[in-house]
Amino acid sequence: MLKAVIFDMDGVLLDSEPFWARAQMQVFGALGRPMSQADCDATMGIRIDQLVALRYPDLVNPPSQEEVVNHIVDEVNRLIRSEGTPKEGLDHAMALIRDQGLTIGLATSSPMAMVHNVLETLGIAHHFSALHSAEVERFGKPHPDVYLHAAEKLGVAPEACLAIEDSFNGLLAAKAARMQALIIPDPALRGDPRLAIADLKLDSLAQLEAAHLRR
């Protein structure tokens, strides 16, 4: 029986995946590593420091990895503040989950400073009983620790949690944590056969129904 719903952030609460792609293209491009949209799609859901470490050997005269990470994060935060809007159905989903008596948490690969920026921009911080970022974990998604520790903060067994994700890496993390998983795929992943491991697939949060939360 479900007791909690744990949201991913990027691509689930707001359409920030394009912000990450724009920031990567800008920062990596300026450092001699042009990035395509396909390059960005392939690493969706991966923690930014791990992504920078992956791309760093290809950069030309770069600053430190930490500085590259900070440049990307700063640009994404700027875009969130200036252009961030809630995903379709977010208010509906929050109200429905609360009406079902379920606790709400968040498990994200993004840094906690960005989490607070997003929640403040969208005005939804009051809905969440626990927030957890993979920045404090040894491994980010697709490793399950970010979900396991989010559930621990909520005081709920992982098996009693529903994770809501938009990326394949996030979906893998949720399933590895032994959670039920709802996938609302990023447009780049629509039709991807790997998403069949999800327990439920919807096109948007607006389609969430009470029956989906009684599993």
Catalytic residues: 8, 10
Contact 199, 181 (CB under 8 A): yes
Q: How far apart, in whole angstroms, are the C-alpha atoms of residue 204 and residue 90?
A: 9
**Taking Cα atoms as reference points, which of 140, 191, 139, 147 lies closest to residue 165?**
147
- How many angstroms separate the Cα of 26 from the Cα of each of 21, 32, 37, 56, 138? 9, 10, 12, 15, 28
Tokens of 191: 């039709």
**Taking Cα atoms as reference points, which of 166, 200, 194 lies closest to residue 181?**
200
Q: How far apart, in whole angstroms, are the C-alpha atoms of residue 16 and residue 151?
A: 24
Contact 102, 130 (CB under 8 A): no
Residues 6 or more apart whose Cβ sits within 8 Å of residue 105? 4, 5, 6, 7, 128, 129, 130, 131, 132, 150, 151, 153, 154, 161
